[in-house]
Amino acid sequence: MKTILSAALLAAAVLFSGTGCAAQTPSPGAPAPAFSATDLSGAVLDSEAYKGKVLVVNFWATWCPPCRAEIPDFAAFYAENKDKGLEIIGFSVDDLPAARLRDFVEKYKMTYPVAFADERLVQAFDPGPYIPTTFIIDRKGFIRHKEVGGMDKAALAGWFERLSAE
């Protein structure tokens, strides 16, 4: 399988490698990085607003086949569980105009918030060189799981059930 590197991930890796200022990769059990981003509809996505909810943070791109494959499961699971304390954010690492990303989001019926991942976000979460990469964050704001590669509805449901029971 071809290694998939986006421009944003590559730029972050080059910018921060070997400089002594690379972010520590957040691992399960660590507090999730604080973030603030603006989604494609203009809403501010602030990490503080997600405390008390199970948050799924997904780094992805429009050109990535496994990313496109997981979108229907993410959208369906979000629709079924957003009123039960689930939030999903898709952070696109694409380098394309916002209008093209909006068209993609509409075509693929992505019902959850989508925003561009800037270098700050990539550095803070450090998803690594492969996408999709998904972080599962518990209601207290701690990373509970990092999945490199596609996730399906069953995997999302397992984590959501586990974290909802806590």
pLDDT digits (tens, 9 = 90+) for 4-55: 344 434 333 333 333 333 345 677 789 999 999 999 999 999 999 999 999 9
Alpha helices (H) in the chain, listed in sequence order:
7-16, 65-81, 98-107, 119-125, 153-164
Q: Is 2 a residue whose pLDDT tops 50? A: no
pLDDT at 61: 98
Q: What is the pLDDT of residues 50-101, one digit of tens each?
A: 999 999 999 999 999 999 999 999 999 999 999 999 999 999 999 999 999 9
CB burial of residue 71 (10 Å; 0-12, 13-18, 19+): buried
pLDDT at 5: 40
Note the pLDDT of residue 38: 96
* Distance of alpha carbon 123 from alpha carbon 146, whole angstroms: 15
Helix orientation angle between 65-81 and 153-164, rounded to the nearest 10 degrees: 40
Which H or E run includes 3? none
> CB of 101 within 8 A of CB of 92?
yes
Please check the confidence at residue 166 and state whether its pLDDT lies above 60: yes
Q: Output the pTM of the full model.
A: 0.84
Give me the half-sphere count of Cα atoms (radius 13 Å) on the Cβ side of residue 115: 19
The pLDDT assigned to 22 comes to 39
Six token digits for residue 97: 């105009």
3-class secondary structure, 132: coil
Assess whether pLDDT exceeds 90 at residue 150: yes
